Structure 1
Amino acid sequence: MTGAAGLFGRAAPLVLEVGFGDGRFLSHLGQTHPEWNLLGAEISLGSVWRAYRRIKRDGVDNVRLYKGNAGFIVRDVIAPGALERIYVNFPDPWPRKKQWKNRLLQPEFFRILHSRLAPGGRLELTTDHPGYFEYALEAAARSGCFKAEEGTPPEAALETKYARKWLDQGKPIFHARFLPDETSSPAVDASTGAAPAVPPDTPARYDAPLIQKTPMQHALLSGRLPAHPSFEKQVHAFSGGHVILLEAFRAIDTQDSLLFKVVTEEPDLRQELLIQAWQREEDAVHVSLQGFGEPLSTPGVREAVRAVTLWLEGQGLAVQDTWI
């Protein structure tokens, strides 16, 4: 089995909750809909841990948790037509105008989601923030492929931590269902079959390609690792994002290895990596990614190896070979 079926060990309707907090609503869904495969996405490690404990305590076995950005999951991981439903309950409103770009529900997100939803699928938003609610309604309209139906939130959504807090304060709660507009058509290049770059306000469905495993780059250089290198933070741009070389360390018990702490930033995906350069022979240095943290094999990770290789070239070493 591959895809979601491989993750859950069965084929079943896939439902996503974005920002599950302490996992109360997600656990409720798991108990009331055992026929669903439930995936939760959350950026807070503390929330992931609290939700994990709740789900284990409740004996729910049809839920999987992901720590990271839901935009990455929807765009790069979930296959077209595979998502039955998506719940967004009380998201961070990012209230200041300069923060609005951080909001998940943007026109482009709706365009991507349109291709990921199964027939009859929908997104349900519940929020206490009127500004965020209006922003989401406008973003859906601008996407050109969703229509919104305002209504009453699911009863279970009003039992969550934040819902109780806002209701106790007498705040109104806003809810809408976003339904695909089936009259829209995919924005795909007929000659290549590829999805073109979509300007932010283009009213078209966006069939974004799924992430593919990227072969990892390795490098072999001639020369010796510098004994006392001077290192400063560096930022390298590439077509899909940025690589940031943060720090370089030498192993305590050897002069034959340098470890580089590196961050890669790709759309909705940030990874922290360790890249190692070690003296393999008297005049040969090998550079490769370390498996610490089990990083995803993306173009950004490959660029991280290349950035370290370039830094070593600046220290007087010469590239003899690179391979993937």
Structure 2
Amino acid sequence: MNESTYRPQPVSFVRRGSRLQGRREKAWEEHREQYLVQMPRLIADTSVDPDYRFDAAQAFGREAELVLEVGSGLGEAIAHAAAQTPERNFLAVEVYLPGLAQTVQRAAALGLDNVRVVQANAPEVLATACEPGSLAEVWTFFPDPWHKSRHEKRRLVTPAFAELVADALAPGGVWRLATDWEHYAEQMLEVGEGSSLQNLHQDWAPRFEGRIVTSFENKALKAGRTIRDLTFRKAG
């Protein structure tokens, strides 16, 4: 099996540089054993062996509600939320190694023990690594909009992805999304409302209070773009 056979559809990301320097490199070397979840690969180095199952209780050393962030970036949102809600566990899923190292740096600086990180393609994590009904929430904040029409096929939020989220959520679990690109927001709304999940609002949701304003969002606001939030819930 080659990668094109394993992944017949284009992935939603482009791999960037993986070199670590300075404080990120130091944090990664000193703290990755505590924070990094090593998911076995199948083909690509961001793939997940479909026979692997993530054991959250073992990874965190306790039973607690689990929140998974898809594309955790530099870890600003997940580290802040983990510090504010220590009773929950948080799993950051990201393909960009410097971003994961930055997340680890933040978590270590705050002394957090309720954060774990994994370098993997999020749809594969949701499809096979996460047990059905195991997640309290899934966060998809500011995924790459792929704003050129010829690239829209690479967008993460699709009907197939929505059903992966729905399967992984526990009854009553919530999928939270945010984007600063209006066309993508409309697509997210259409996808969510066409899924098995329920929109908790007539269309757009009020800003999720648990989502800190990140450096990325600040840039979008300064550029004059509108931030759209969406919230969908699994029946139960």
* TM-score, normalised with respect to structure 1: 0.53
Give the conservation status (yes or no) of the 8 Å contact 1:41–1:66.
yes
Going from structure 1 to structure 2, the CA distance change for 1:65 and 1:120 (only over 3 Å counts) comes to: same
Going from structure 1 to structure 2, the CA distance change for 1:109 and 1:155 (only over 3 Å counts) comes to: same
Is 1:146 the counterpart of 2:197? The answer is yes
Unaligned runs of 5+ in 2: 1-53
One of 160, 164, 173 as aligned partner of 2:218: 164
Aligned-pair CA distance for 1:18:
1.2
SS in 2 for 1:151: coil
Give the conservation status (yes or no) of the 8 Å contact 1:84–1:117.
yes
Unaligned runs of 5+ in 1: 183-324
One of 131, 135, 145 as aligned partner of 1:79: 131
Tell me the residue number matched to 1:174: 228
CA distances 1:200-245 after superposition (whole Å, capped 9, x unpaired): xxxxxxxxxxxxxxxxxxxxxxxxxxxxxxxxxxxxxxxxxxxxxx
Aligned-pair CA distance for 1:60:
1.1
CA distances 1:58-106 after superposition (whole Å, capped 9, x unpaired): 1111100011211111111111111000111111101123322322211
User: C-alpha separation between the residues in 1 aligned to 2:86 and 2:102?
Assistant: 21
SS in 1 for 2:176: strand
Give the conservation status (yes or no) of the 8 Å contact 1:89–1:125.
yes
Q: Which has the higher strand share?
A: 1
Tell me the residue number matched to 1:9: 61
User: C-alpha separation between the residues in 1 aligned to 2:103 and 2:164?
Assistant: 27
CA distances 1:274-301 after superposition (whole Å, capped 9, x unpaired): xxxxxxxxxxxxxxxxxxxxxxxxxxxx
Tell me the residue number matched to 1:305: none
**How many corresponding residue pairs?**
180
Correspondences of 1:50-69 after superposition (within 5 Å): 50-69=102-121
Correspondences of 1:95-134 after superposition (within 5 Å): 95-134=147-186
Aligned-pair CA distance for 1:169:
2.6
Q: Which has the larger radius of gyration?
A: 1
Aligned-pair CA distance for 1:107:
0.6
User: C-alpha separation between the residues in 2 aligned to 1:155 and 1:168?
Assistant: 20
User: C-alpha separation between the residues in 1 aligned to 2:167 and 2:70?
Assistant: 18
User: C-alpha separation between the residues in 1 aligned to 2:186 and 2:107?
Assistant: 33
Q: Which has the higher helix share?
A: 2
* TM-score, normalised with respect to structure 2: 0.71
Give the aligned CA root-mean-square deviation in angstroms. 1.7
Aligned-pair CA distance for 1:161:
1.1
User: C-alpha separation between the residues in 1 aligned to 2:212 and 2:146?
Assistant: 21
Identity level (%): 34
